[in-house]
């Protein structure tokens, strides 16, 4: 959700849908290129639907982002004096409740309170920094456990180190809202691809949509492909999206809430779920957990894979059934 351009905006997922009857539109939303693909629809209807979906996704970005000038309830929370109550927008409150549940279920790997730490590292700002912050500054920016409190419709924080950051989940939610708007407008077959976070509905002229998963160290190559029909969300989190190299070390934007440093166990993590919101949050959590997190997702029946820090591919049971590795 950072308000800036990504390094490889459209390359992490290569969506193969070259049929001329498909309709394509690209918009710049949430700091990334969002690709809309619609199949088997009247062009005028499709164009209108895509415009409405893009507006809805922009509305979500405005509501959740903390990295632009515009004020919102998330930023008000982040400025609030610890112990005082803040009213969050209903949608923000709903996504925050879900984020806190995923924080629990992922044993803390996913943490929606890393705003201060993320600002310190500077990964959501332009230009990217060239050196990591000091260990003291990192320690002083890690939020205390359980720092977000809910009291009826009001929310508060226990510490100034506790700042909301929906960077790992709001893009997924925006995609879900975009798909809802497309459907309401009468679209049955479509893909929304927001720089590697995607949701597909329907089919591609009766055939499955083919989704390629980007190789984390070779932008033009794919790890393999997944064929999906129906309503499916596929999200990848990678260390190649926003990073810099300092003295031979790679520093990237997915943080381990325990150490306060970029998570070191993965190069990329992909999760398939019922909604893009869930797939987005869990792909970030899985990236932090590394290969051992795959079982956790298997228990929740979510197909998932991880490329570990050495570049080795790990695939869980549900993913094995649908993933075709590149030969
Ligand atoms: P992207 O937004 O590039 O697709 P992610 O979905 O993995 O990637 O989200 C990364 C963003 O989420 C970071 O830029 C930051 O705002 C936030 N973030 C970083 N680490 C975590 C974490 N462990 N838990 C929750 N949010 C995180
Ligand atoms: Mg995510």
Q: How many domains does one find in the chain?
A: 1
| pLDDT at res. 21 | 76
How many whole angstroms separate alpha carbon 194 and alpha carbon 181?
16
- Which of ligand 1's atoms lies nearest the C-alpha of 172? 6
Q: How far is ligand 1, taken at its centre, from the CA of residue 312, in Å? A: 22
pLDDT digits over 97-111, tens only?
A: 999 999 999 999 999
- Mean pLDDT confidence for 223-231: 95
Which mutation among 125, 239, 253, 267 tests ligand 1's pocket best, with the greatest number of atoms within 8 A of CB?
A: 253
Q: Is the pTM of this model over 0.85?
A: yes
Whether the per-residue pLDDT at 125 is higher than 80: the answer is yes
Task: Answer whether 198's CB lies under 8 Å from 15's CB.
Answer: yes
pLDDT class of 11 with cuts at 50, 70, 90 = very low
281 CA closest ligand 1 atom index: 6
Do 34 and 26 form a contact (C-beta atoms < 8 A)? yes
CA of 210 to the centre of ligand 2 (A): 21
CATH code for the domain in which residue 238 is found? 3.10.520.10
Mean pLDDT of 256-271: 98
Which has more pLDDT, 226 or 1? 226
- Across the chain, the runs of DSSP E, i.e. the strands, are 13-16, 23-29, 32-38, 86-87, 148-151, 154-157, 190-194, 197-201, 209-215, 218-228, 232-238, 243-246, 249-252, 266-273, 304-308, 313-315, 323-325
How far, in Å, CA of 189 to CA of 152, rounded? 40
Range of the domain at 318: 1-327
């Amino acid at each position: 959700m950072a308000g800036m351009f990504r390094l490889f905006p459209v390359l992490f997922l290569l969506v193969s849908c070259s049929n001329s009857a498909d309709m394509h539109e690209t918009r710049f939303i949430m700091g990334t290129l969002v690709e809309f693909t619609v199949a088997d629809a009247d062009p005028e209807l499709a164009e209108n639907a895509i415009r409405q979906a893009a507006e809805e996704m922009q509305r979500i970005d405005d509501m959740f982002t903390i990295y632009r000038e515009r004020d919102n309830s998330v930023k008000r929370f982040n400025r609030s004096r610890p112990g005082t109550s803040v009213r969050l927008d209903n949608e923000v409150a709903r996504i925050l409740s879900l984020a806190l549940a995923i924080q629990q279920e992922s044993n803390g790997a996913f943490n929606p309170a890393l705003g201060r730490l993320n600002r310190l590292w500077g990964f959501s700002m332009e230009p990217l920094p060239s050196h990591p912050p000091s260990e003291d500054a990192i320690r002083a920016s890690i939020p205390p456990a359980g720092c977000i409190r809910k009291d009826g419709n009001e929310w508060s924080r226990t510490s100034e180190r506790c700042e909301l950051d929906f960077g790992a989940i709001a893009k997924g939610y925006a995609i879900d809202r975009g798909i809802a708007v497309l459907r309401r407008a009468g679209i049955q077959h479509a893909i929304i691809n927001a720089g590697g976070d995607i949701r597909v509905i329907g089919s591609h002229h009766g055939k499955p949509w083919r989704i390629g998963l980007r190789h984390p160290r070779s932008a033009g190559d794919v790890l393999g492909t997944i064929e999906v029909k129906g309503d499916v969300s596929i999200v990848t989190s990678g260390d190649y999206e926003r990073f810099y190299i300092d003295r031979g070390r790679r520093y990237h934007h997915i943080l381990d809430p325990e150490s306060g440093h970029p998570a070191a166990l993965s190069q990329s993590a992909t999760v398939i779920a019922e909604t893009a919101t869930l797939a987005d949050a869990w792909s970030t959590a899985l990236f932090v957990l590394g290969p051992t997190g795959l079982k956790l997702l298997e228990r929740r029946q979510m197909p998932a894979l991880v490329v570990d820090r050495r570049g080795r591919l790990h695939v869980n049971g549900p993913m094995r059934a649908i993933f075709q590795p590149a030969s």
